[in-house]
Amino acid sequence: MGYLICSKCRVYYKMESGESKKDFTSNCDCGSKLRYVENLDIVDPSWKQSIFRKKPTIKEILTNKLQSISFGINDNIISPIIRFWHNLRNKFHNTKNWNNHYNSPYGMQNSLINTIQAELNFNNIQWIIIIPVIMVITLILANNHGILTLLIFVLLAAVGYLTKEPVVGAKNAIVAGAISFFFGSLLTGSFLSIIPFTMLGAINGAVCGFIGGYIQTRYN
């Protein structure tokens, strides 16, 4: 037992049995540091009794952390995927209302291509970011610098981070990964593995870019 006091607010709190000063935060709500005393001999009788905030328990910290992660996943991953799916479904649903021009084979083909292009929205590819990344990754792959290959994943994640949005980040990183892995195969003479290597680059870009974009939206 003992007392916690705040000299600035001129208040004190009498701790109950089983409580310790470690259970409470270091500062009062006013910002002043709390002091622990064994008795109130140094306290002016005019001081009033008050209550100070306790530190959150491990259970409360974990619960808040899980809730924060859950909200982040919902806002930055699940919701964009749902919006993407609804937009894509609506665009394909609107094709049922094509006029005679679009009912022609040429019109149907153009409309379908335009629909996919509009949804994928590759107009937001940020070449000023991904071109340097493509060059660096290509050089790493061409020279096979061992541990430096781990830098590839960091660079692809950085592309997603700099685009500031998970889906857009994934698109940019897919382009960066596919192109760099394609040129990496050419420079190393692995002509038979160009297609699978390019697909591997696109997959790495999608995953790393999405993670980078998620980190940007989650922590900034």
pLDDT tens series, the chain, 220 aa? 677 788 788 887 787 777 777 778 878 888 888 888 877 777 777 788 888 877 777 777 777 777 776 666 666 666 666 676 666 666 555 555 544 444 444 444 554 455 445 445 566 778 888 888 888 888 888 886 667 778 888 888 988 888 877 778 888 888 899 898 888 888 877 777 788 888 988 898 888 888 888 888 777 6
> The domain containing residue 138 runs over which residues?
124-219
Task: Give the pLDDT of residue 102.
Answer: 46
- Do 143 and 214 lie in one domain? The reply is yes
- Do 194 and 212 lie in one domain? The reply is yes
- Do 212 and 173 lie in one domain? The reply is yes
- Do 214 and 173 lie in one domain? The reply is yes
What is 110-136 written as a DSSP string? HHHHHHHHHHH-GGG--HHHHHHHHHH
Q: Which residue, 87, 104, 120, sits at the end of a domain?
A: 120
Q: How many Cβ atoms sit within 10 Å of the Cβ of residue 146?
A: 8
- Do 141 and 169 lie in one domain? The reply is yes
- The identity of residue 175, as a single letter, is V
- Do 75 and 97 lie in one domain? The reply is yes
- Do 78 and 96 lie in one domain? The reply is yes
- Do 134 and 194 lie in one domain? The reply is yes
- Do 45 and 85 lie in one domain? The reply is no
Task: Give the pLDDT of residue 148.
Answer: 73
Q: Which residue, 76, 92, 120, sits at the end of a domain?
A: 120
- Do 62 and 4 lie in one domain? The reply is no
What is 12-62 written as a DSSP string? EEEPPTT--GGGB-SB-TTSPBPEEESSSTTS-TT-EE---PBPPPHHHHH
User: CA angle, 181 as apex, 175 and 183 as ends, to 5°?
Assistant: 100
- Do 128 and 203 lie in one domain? The reply is yes
- Do 112 and 132 lie in one domain? The reply is no
The structural domain count of the chain equals 3
Task: Give the pLDDT of residue 120.
Answer: 57
Task: Give the pLDDT of residue 1.
Answer: 67
Task: Give the pLDDT of residue 100.
Answer: 46
- Which one, of 9, 18, 12, lies nearest residue 51 by Cα? 12
